[in-house]
Structure formats: structure tokens, C-alpha cells
């Protein structure tokens, strides 16, 4: 009986030691998983950085285009002022009220619209600059 007791004691002891090794192996497997996942983590991070760089470039290009578009509106408004003033002078020389022309009245309204559009374009571009 003494031998049987000794065998059972050794089996129990070894079983506990095996369980301890299994726990240690499981922890090592978890550590390996995190270590192996690092490359994927860095790859994803680099992909997000590249995406951010592309978006930043696109945003800068858009801001530049908006400023150019606003400048075009300003240039058109300048051209319209010259044309409106010229029409007013010619109409007065002929003794005609320039406001009698629907095209002249509409042109004056559009001149104001172009001037407002330039301000709007600048405001839009400035709002995007704050995002950068």
C-alpha cells in the first residue's frame, strides 16, 4: 500500500506541475500573439498616416482652388464695374436712365452677388484652414 500511495503522490505532483507548465505556455502564447501582431499594427498605422497625408494634400489643393475661384469672382466684379460705369455714361450721354434697361439692373445685382461670392469663398477657405 505504501507503494500505491507513493505512485499516487507522484502522479498528483506531476499533474500539478504539468498544469503549471500549461499556464506558462498559454501566457507565452499570448505574449507571442502580441509580439507577432506588432507588424500588422505598424502597417495599419502607416496606412492611416498615408491616408492622412493624401487628405491633407487634397485639402490644401481645395483651399488653393477656392482662393483662386474667389479671385476670379473679384476679377469678374472688377470687369462688371467698368462695364456698368461705361453703360451709365453712354446712357446719360443719350439722355436715357440706365435703370430703364433690365440687363443693366440685373448686371448691377450680379455685381453685388460676385462681390459677396468672393467673400464667401474666402470664408470657406479660411474655415478649412482652421481644420488643418
Q: How many CB atoms lie within 10 A of CB 53?
A: 10
Domain positions in the chain are 2-131
Q: Which three cell numbers stand for residue 25?
A: 505556455
Q: Model pTM?
A: 0.59
Buried b (16+ CB within 10 A) or exposed e, 79-118: ebeeebeebbeebeeeeeebeeeeebeeebeebeebbebb
| Residue pLDDT, tens place only, 30-66 | 888 888 889 899 999 999 999 999 999 999 999 999 9
Q: Does the pLDDT at position 25 exceed 70?
A: yes
Amino acid at each position: 500500500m505504501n507503494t500505491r500511495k507513493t505512485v499516487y503522490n507522484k502522479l498528483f505532483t506531476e499533474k500539478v506541475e504539468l498544469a503549471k507548465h500549461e499556464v506558462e505556455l498559454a501566457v507565452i502564447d499570448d505574449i507571442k500573439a502580441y509580439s507577432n501582431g506588432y507588424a500588422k499594427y505598424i502597417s495599419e498605422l502607416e496606412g492611416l498616416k498615408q491616408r492622412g497625408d493624401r487628405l491633407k494634400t487634397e485639402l490644401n489643393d481645395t483651399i488653393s482652388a477656392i482662393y483662386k475661384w474667389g479671385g476670379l469672382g473679384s476679377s469678374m466684379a472688377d470687369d462688371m464695374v467698368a462695364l456698368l460705369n461705361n453703360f451709365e455714361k453712354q446712357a446719360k450721354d443719350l439722355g436715357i436712365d440706365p435703370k430703364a434697361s433690365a440687363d443693366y439692373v440685373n448686371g448691377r445685382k450680379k455685381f453685388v452677388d460676385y462681390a459677396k461670392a468672393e467673400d464667401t469663398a474666402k470664408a470657406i477657405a479660411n474655415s478649412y484652414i482652421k481644420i488643418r
